[in-house]
Amino acid sequence: MIPADYRDHILQEFPHRSDSLVDAQIVEVLKYLTILSEGSSGRFIPLTREADEVWHEMIVQTQLYFDLCASLPGGRYIHHESIGMDGFAERIGRREAVEQFVAWVPDYTSRFGPFTEDTASHWAVVQFLREEVGLSLDEVNALGRPVSV
């Protein structure tokens, strides 16, 4: 987790959200940063806007964020780039963008286990797959698993 003063500062920046919601968003941001630090194949930010806002607030506490990044498995600073899915798709191609977006699912589930209703609510990629593609949460969690024959 993060130091108490770091957490408290982030909580103060989101007074309209419950502490438990912000804590859950912090945890999912930390999972995202862990995956990124390990060299995830997907690079597009798969978090919801609200979780991304928490990450932004973590970043502006520069020394604490540097220290956090140094403590991650990759031990390197994780940069942030504000770009939407459309801009990302224009840059690398729509098919590649979708593949990178979906690549977060097995990156997450192999490291942290399956998404739950609560954890899934902080990940735009899971919401996209459920709402736009029509997958159940079990089907989302099965992405990237080896197929049994």
**pLDDT, tens digit (0-9, with 9 covering 90-100), for 121-148:** 999 889 888 988 899 999 999 986 765 5
Phi then psi for residue 119, to 5 deg, are -65, -35
Closest-CA residue to 47 (of 93, 86, 84): 84
| pLDDT for position 50 | 95
DSSP 1: -
Is the overall model pTM greater than 0.85, yes or no? Answer: yes
pLDDT greater at residue 92 or residue 58: 58
Query: What per-residue confidence (pLDDT) applies to 26?
Result: 97
The pLDDT value recorded for residue 103 is 80
pLDDT (tens digit, 9 = 90+) per residue, 25-41? 999 999 999 998 987 65
Q: Give the pLDDT score at 72.
A: 93
pLDDT tens digits for 64-121?
Answer: 999 999 999 988 888 776 666 666 667 767 677 677 777 888 989 999 999 999 999 9
pLDDT band of residue 45 (cuts 50, 70, 90) is confident
Q: 108 is written with which tokens?
A: 């997450």
Q: How far is CA 148 from CA 115, 122, 142, 145, in A?
A: 21, 30, 12, 9
**Which residue is it, tokens 């899934």?**
120
Q: Identify any residues that bridge with 47 across adjacent strands, giving them in sequence order.
A: 123
One DSSP character per residue, 57-102 reads HHHHSHHHHHHHHHHSTT-S--------HHHHHHHH-HHHHHHHHH
